[in-house]
Structure 1
Amino acid sequence: MTIPLNPQARLEAALPAALSRLRATPGAFAALWCGSAARGEGNAHSDLDFHVLVTGDKRWRANYVVAGVPVEAFHNPVRKVRAMFAARQGDTITMFAEGRPVWPHPDLDALIAEARALHAAGPEPRPLSQQARFRLVEEVMDARALAEAGDPLHVLVACRAAGLATEALFEARGWWKVKPQRWLSTLQEHDPEAAHDLHTVLTAPDAGVRQAALDALTVRVTGDLTYREGGSDPAPVP
């Protein structure tokens, strides 16, 4: 009797076949395994993600399936990866900082070291602009109106506003952005109270409790929930 593999084991079992295909790519000379599976957190819906170093002047993305597992591979010359680092592209920096080399090369080792240093330093904090703050407060007030009216749409609007507030909080505090799947764990590491607020918005059955948590989460980045004067500069109409 064959015992089915758990999701992480299934992903790891497909790794040799995926790596064989990567090695057959013309110009490829190194590969970094990244994403949830590389962190040992793969689930039934995870794929295998790779950053592949290539020679030449072109970059591309490839998607395919090996051993029943979907694969996504990003192919870049070394200088393009360094350009993405210089542009502070958080997703690329995080992948290289957390990834696992499965096709080693000195150039890949150097990029991993650079990414880890950048990741540890964090991005420059980016406070909310007045326009972004206005839009966020407006979303929260729209949610509050639905909560007071007992409208079931409050769940949807509150969660949408919580997403905006969470993204704004990451930028304002100078934390690298992560996928929504990692918001709670990352917030728990940096700000447990903010993690509690977000968890409450997502899980509280009572609209009043949900709204109070949304208010608290938002105030962490806006300071308060008052409207302030602002706007954009006049722009020519084409």
Structure 2
Amino acid sequence: MPADPTDPQAQLEAALPAALDRLRRTPGVYAALWCGSAARGEGNAHSDLDFHALVRGDHRWRANYVVQGVPVEVFHNPARKVRAMFAAGQGDTIGMFAEGRVALPHPDLEALMAEARALHAAGAAPRPLHAAGPAPRPLSPQGRFRLLEEVMDARALADRHDPLHVLIACRAAHLAVEALFEARGWWKVKAQRWLPELTERDPQAARDLHALLSAPDPTARQTALEALAVRVTGDLTYQEGGSEPQLVN
């Protein structure tokens, strides 16, 4: 039965066999992980098929192509490189292996997925002693100053109801949310997943972010932005700070 043309997820899944056939025929590929929104059953009209492929040898590469009208993106890596990305704290890679689905099975892939699930769990909850998740990183003085500057720039635009406020407020919110994830020791996720992740981990931060994104006017948007920023800055006061002197060549 052909895929329902009105169902984007069905269209993506219908293209999966052809995508896997091309993966099997790619020299060096011996296992593959299906990941991303389609693998979670959340595909939309703008989604693609995402894969991590394990390859033999010493090379890594990225490929983009189209099968049955569906865009496909594949990251090819030796298994040892994937482990190196885990060790480097690449939260997006860890998340993909933790939540992905086996497309071409192999024991190496199963082992990597098990490692990723353990790492992801350690970074998705309050950090226990000796946990393998990322160490919490409080906002640095320079990072705090940069965030405050963005918030105050947004405040000036809100005061005069400048339509550019939405752009600056969202830019400041991006800094605030990334700083919050680092300060709490959570693996970073794509912006598309901020709200559901924050809803689980810090519901008030999720409410602040949602209020910012849905605010009807600059004043309400700025109020939400400042509430979100204070969650990582503590307050909105400027403090002394600066970088270390550097030698000029």
Aligned to 2:91: 90
TM-score, structure 2 as length reference: 0.93
How many angstroms does 1:149 deviate by? 1.7
Q: Secondary structure at the match of 2:72?
A: strand
Gaps of 5+ in 1: none
1:231 aligns with 2:232: no
* Runs of 4+, deviation exceeding 6 Å: none
Name whichever of 213-222 and 154-163 sits farther off. 154-163
| Deviation sequence 1:63-87 (CA, Å, 0-9, x none) | 1001110001011111111111111
Distance (whole Å) between structure 2 residues aligned to residue 75 and residue 55 of structure 1: 10
- Cα drift, residue 159 of structure 1: 1.3
Deviations 1:125-167 (A, max 9, x none): 1111100100101110111111112222111111111111111
Q: CA RMSD in A?
A: 1.3
Deviations 1:4-62 (A, max 9, x none): 24000100000000000000011111000001110111100000000001111111111
The partner residue of 2:200 within 186, 189, 196 is 189
Give the corresponding residue for 2:104.
103
| Counterpart residue identity of residue 15, structure 1 | L
| Shift in CA distance, 2/131, structure 1 to aligned 2, threshold 3 Å | closer
How much identity, in percent, do the aligned residues show? Answer: 77
Equivalenced residues, count: 238
Partner of 1:9: 10
Selected match of 2:157 from 131, 138, 146: 146
Name the structure 1 match of 2:122.
121
- Equivalents in 1 of 2:248, 2:3: separation in Å? 67
Amino acid at match of 2:71: P
Question: Does the CA contact (< 8 Å) of 2:33 and 2:100 recur in 1?
Answer: yes
